[in-house]
Amino acid sequence: MPPTYRLLLPVPQAGFYDYLPPEGESLSEGQYVEVPFGGRVMIGIVWGAGGGDVPVTKLKAVRRVLDVPPLPPVSRAFVEWVSAYTLAPEGVVLKMLFGNAKLIEAKKKDSFDCPRFDPDFHQPTLTDAQRAAADYLTQKVTEGDYSATLLDGVTGSGKTEVFCEAMAENLRQNKQTLLLLPEIAMTAALIDRLTARFGGRPVEWHSGLGERQRRFHWQAIARGEAKLILGARSALFLPYPDLGLIVVDEEHEAAYKQEEGTIYHGRDMAVARAHLGRIPVILSSATPSLETLFNGQQGKYGHVKLPTRFGSAGMPSIACVDVRKQKFAPHEFIAPPVFDALKETIARGKQAMLFLNRRGYAPLTLCRGCGHRLECPRCTAWLTEHKKAAQLRCHHCDFAMRLPESCPSCQAKDKFAACGPGVERIAEEVSKRLPEVRFALMVSDLLETPQAAQELVDRMARRELDLLIGTQIMAKGYHFPDLTFVGVIDGDLGLSGGDPRAAERTFQLLQQMAGRSGRGTEAGRVLLQTTQPDHPVMQALVKGDRDAFLEAELREREAYHLPPYARLASLTVSGEDVTEVIKAAQHLAATAPSHPHVRILGPAPAPYARLRGKYRHRLMIQTPRGFNLSFYLRGWLSGLKWPHRLRLLVDIDPYSFL
Ligand code: ADP
Ligand code: ZN
């Protein structure tokens, strides 16, 4: 009887498939092979010996073995681990590893000279504090075993310089280093910096690459030739034969959470990957997540600190502007103290930022005749006016329309009123009140590529601009030495809503935003417009007392049994027929295996009860920390029959509560 092999194929159906080897050949684990599957040809991975569920006479044969280095055991273990943790079938996780099959095989004319890196190409002289932090991390790389370390340093303290030392040590050992970034908008600046530091351009991995480049990079990584990889979270799944270090920059960023397809948190998966590969991982941030700080407190992670900025730069001074006590002219949103500070800063030849975390012109358009609000026809959400694009847009789906001529409800003409500000409206106010100021809008929907963002950053760095007005993409690690003032238009924006991480996120975002100012010789100044100057978040920012805030926030989380003291999962049922959705969600709740450690909340309508035309009802599962939630859920959900018209979304450790 011929031996059979168990293959994993990148298909959504759960499970493995048995195949015969090509005539007269044998296969080995990890090989990439081409197989017939359901009338198609597909690439799979040899996972082991056949399972024997299907009679040998019914099996098909592998067509050929591809000329690619076999998938390393640690990559296979990672696929299995991610699948078990997220409840996504192994095949779906495998798909993230090689995406489309075109990446895998080199074409004849392909040639990609993988850059070489010199760990000592341009080594900066570190300060004593930086040296101590770098030594600790370098030591971890030398030990070459699993460790997780939080690199916790204020904005501008030199975290990048410090983790580059650990990367240099890993390069000396000739191993691969992966540096993860939360968003591709940030890659350009860091690429220049790493190129200057290591004398070669890091190999990129993110959705912004063309197909040819992707193929080159994938292959250079799979062959182990690419030693320095800079990527978005998807880069974690690449088949590194010799990964020696992972650095997660801006580890607190919510953008690490993938919210579609296989739902996972890039930072958490990086720690898991490091654990499986027995290598160090560095989590870097000026505003670490509560989860990571907690792991530091518990001794699970190492914790190195850089408490001061590099050079003469001090920390910015932060003050609140209580908007309830301010007088605003009609249709103005910049409070007088913020306006004065802005004007004064620019008059002195310095630069500024105005921050409002809301895209578009106005978040709500209503009819002054009848009070009708313009809503998305497919989502429980208002339409945001975008003046530049002359559109009303839904920020949750791709719905867009022109502003109607008359009210759809009362037919009145010219009665529409734009309510509240978005960044475009702030820009309009600046043009009116400070016409001589040179400013640009920095918003994701107006910047389509990382290059466009970089161009804006360069113009700011060359002093061709006095002011940037924008959303949270401005808060990223940019360094403008002459930027001395940051005005925050609506500091409370993130605090409302039922998100248990609202306070933490607002604190992080405002702290990062503040960190853009005063990075040169002159101290920075930050004014926060708020209606809640006494809120713990605002108080912590004003007093510069992060630790007190975190302690208070941790106590709160503990009292309410929230992460990091407990674990959560959310199960969202969605579908077009609301009755069917409700019934299915109730049925789901009724089938939950009872367990003394598991609490089931709901089902209840999600805060956005309808999105993209689908109704959404949700259950929250709450368990103690350390509970094997994935195992419990698999036991519960694997037996369920699910109608085609409905979808069940499983989110372990949810970050979005919308
Ligand atoms: P962080 O990553 O903590 O925000 P950076 O590494 O970006 O900080 O450092 C802030 C600025 O200070 C950068 O321009 C960086 O090049 C500079 N810098 C930091 N440490 C040093 C050093 N030891 N020597 C020279 N320049 C440094
Ligand atoms: Zn919508």
**What are the structural domains of the chain?**
5-100 (3.40.1440.60), 128-306 (3.40.50.300), 317-358+421-555 (3.40.50.300), 566-652 (3.30.70.600)
Q: What percent of the chain has pLDDT over 70?
A: 99
Instruction: Report DSSP state, residue 213.
Output: H
> How many Cα atoms within 13 Å fall on the side-chain side of residue 646?
24
Residue 78's pLDDT band, with cuts at 50, 70 and 90, is very high
Residue with the smallest CA separation from ligand 1 atom 22 is 126
Is residue 476 lining ligand 1, measured as CB closer than 6 Å?
Answer: no
On the question of a cis peptide bond just before residue 603, with omega within 30 degrees of 0, the verdict is yes
pLDDT tens, position by position, 523-578 = 899 999 999 999 999 999 999 998 889 889 999 999 999 999 999 999 999 999 99
How far is ligand 2, taken at its centre, from the CA of residue 270, in Å? 33
Q: Which atom of ligand 1 is nearest to the CA of 130?
A: 23
Note if the bond before 564 is cis, omega within 30 degrees: yes
Contact 535, 498 (CB under 8 A): no
Å from CA of 392 to ligand 2 middle: 11
Tell me which residue has its CA closest to atom 5 in ligand 1. Answer: 158
String of DSSP letters for 402-447: PPPSB-TTT--BS-EEEES--HHHHHHHHHHH-TT--EEEE-GGG-
Q: Which ligand is nearest to the CA of 395?
A: 2
CB burial of residue 644 (10 Å; 0-12, 13-18, 19+): exposed
The closest of 236, 207, 250 to 472, measured between CA atoms, is: 250
User: What is the reported pLDDT for 517?
Assistant: 87
pLDDT in the model for residue 476: 76
Distance 400 CA to ligand 2 centre (A): 8
Stretch (H or E) spanning 135: helix 128-143
pLDDT category at 495 given cuts 50, 70, 90 is confident
CA distance 514 to 318: 8
The ligand 1 atom nearest the CA atom of 154: 3
- How far apart CA 213 and CA 190 sit, in angstroms, is 19
CA distance 118 to 597: 53
Cα gap 605→497, rounded to integer Å: 14
Alpha-carbon separation of residue 585 from 70, 188, 332, 373, 641 (angstroms): 43, 45, 46, 30, 13
Give me the chain's average pLDDT, please: 93
Q: What confidence score (pLDDT) does residue 95 get?
A: 92
Residue 331 has pLDDT above 80, yes or no: yes
Are residues 30 and 71 in contact, defined by beta-carbon separation less than 8 angstroms? yes
Task: State the pLDDT at residue 515.
Answer: 87
79 near 97, Cβ under 8 Å? yes
pLDDT score, position 399: 95
Q: Is 123 in the pocket of ligand 1 (CB under 6 A)?
A: no
Whole-angstrom Cα Rg for the chain? 27
Q: Is the CB of 160 under 6 A from ligand 1?
A: yes
CA of 375 to the centre of ligand 2 (A): 8
Rounded (10°) CA dihedral 257, 260, 263, 265: -10
C-alpha torsion 268→264→478→485, nearest 10 = -100
* DSSP state for residue 229 in the 8-state scheme: E
Q: How much distance in Å is there from the Cα of 403 to the middle of ligand 2? A: 15
Give the dihedral of Cα atoms 25, 27, 31, 36; nearest 10 deg.
Answer: 70
Testing ligand 1's pocket by substitution, the residue of 150, 155, 160, 194 carrying the most ligand atoms inside 8 A of its CB is: 160
Q: Is 244 helix (H, G, I), strand (E, B) or coil?
A: strand
Residues 6 or more apart whose Cβ sits within 8 Å of residue 29: 46, 47, 48, 70, 73, 76
Of 230, 261, 262, 225, nearest to 240 by C-alpha is: 225
DSSP states of 570-608 as a string? Answer: EEEEEES-HHHHHHHHHHHHHTPPP-TT-EEEEEEEEEE
Residue of minimum CA distance from atom 25 in ligand 1: 124
* Beta partners for residue 320, in sequence order: 528
Task: For residue range 159-194, list pLDDT tens digits in order.
Answer: 999 999 999 999 999 999 999 999 877 788 899 999
pLDDT surpasses 90 at 312: no
Tell me what the mean pLDDT of segment 355-381 comes to: 95
Residue 34 · residue 43 · CB < 8 Å? yes
Cα 134 to middle of ligand 1, angstroms: 13
The answer to whether the CB of 127 is under 6 A from ligand 1 is yes
**pLDDT (tens digit per residue) in 192-244:** 999 999 999 999 998 888 888 999 999 999 999 999 999 999 999 999 999 99
Q: Ligand 1: distance of its center to the CA of 172 in Å?
A: 22
CB 581 within 8 A of CB 547: no
Going from the C-alpha of 460 to that of each of 273, 343, 352, 643, the distances in angstroms are 38, 17, 10, 54
Please list, in sequence order, all residues whose beta carbon lies within 8 angstroms of the beta carbon of residue 288, skipping any fewer than 6 positions away: 150, 152, 251, 252, 296
Which pLDDT belongs to residue 409?
93
Tokens of 386: 């975008």
Contact of 137 with 162, CB cutoff 8 Å: yes
C-alpha to C-alpha distance for 582 and 447, rounded to whole angstroms? 40
Residue 124 Cβ contacting ligand 1 at under 6 Å: yes
Q: How many residues does the chain have?
A: 658
Please tell me the distance from the alpha carbon of residue 7 to that of residue 15, in angstroms, as a whole number: 9
* Cα 21 to Cα 27: distance, rounded to the nearest angstrom: 6
How is residue 341 written in tokens?
């500070």
The residue whose CB lies within 8 Å of the most ligand 1 atoms, and thus the one to mutate among 126, 163, 249, 310, is: 310
User: Which among 261, 212, 253 is positioned nearest to 232, based on CA atoms?
Assistant: 253
Q: Which residue is closest in CA terms to ligand 1's atom 17?
A: 158
Q: Is 600 exposed, middle or buried (0-12, 13-18, 19+ CB in 10 A)?
A: middle
Closest listed ligand to the CA of 383? 2
CA 597 to ligand 1 centroid distance, Å = 47
Q: Are strands 566-575 and 614-624 parallel, antiparallel or unpaired?
A: antiparallel
- How many angstroms does the Cα of residue 315 sit away from the middle of ligand 1? 14
| CA separation, residue 289 to residues 245, 251, 410, 567, 649 (Å) | 21, 7, 48, 15, 25
**Ligand sitting nearest the alpha carbon of 400:** 2
Number of H helices, E strands in the chain: 16, 29
Query: 29 versus 455: which is more confidently predicted?
Result: 29
Given this model, what pLDDT does residue 519 score? 83
At 338, is the secondary structure helix, strand, or coil? helix
Taking only the tens place, the pLDDT of each residue in 582-620 is: 999 999 999 999 999 999 999 999 989 999 999 999 999
Distance 207 CA to ligand 1 centre (A): 28
Closest atom of ligand 1 to 193 CA is 16
> Is residue 636 helix, strand or coil?
helix
Ligand 1 within 6 A of CB of 307: no
| pLDDT range class, residue 48, cuts 50, 70, 90 | very high
State if residue 310 touches ligand 1 by the CB under 6 angstroms criterion: yes
Q: 490 alpha carbon to ligand 2 midpoint, in Å? A: 24
Nearest to 642 by CA among 579, 577, 585, 569: 585
**Could you tell me if 570 and 620 are in contact, meaning their C-beta atoms sit under 8 angstroms apart?**
yes
Tokens 């190195």 -> residue: 304
Residue whose Cα lies nearest atom 4 of ligand 1: it is 156
Contacts of 497 (CB under 8 A, 6+ apart): 607, 657
Burial label, 113 (beta-carbon count in 10 A; 0-12, 13-18, 19+) = exposed
Least Cα distance to 98 among 172, 8, 208 occurs for 8
Which residue reads 């790389």 in tokens?
A: 141
Q: Is 130 in the pocket of ligand 1 (CB under 6 A)?
A: yes
Q: 515: Cβ below 6 Å to ligand 1?
A: no
The answer, yes or no, to whether any atom of ligand 1 lies below 6 A from the CB of 512, is: no
Residue ID of nearest Cα to ligand 1 atom 23: 126
Q: What is the bridge-based pairing of β-strands 302-306 and 439-442?
A: unpaired
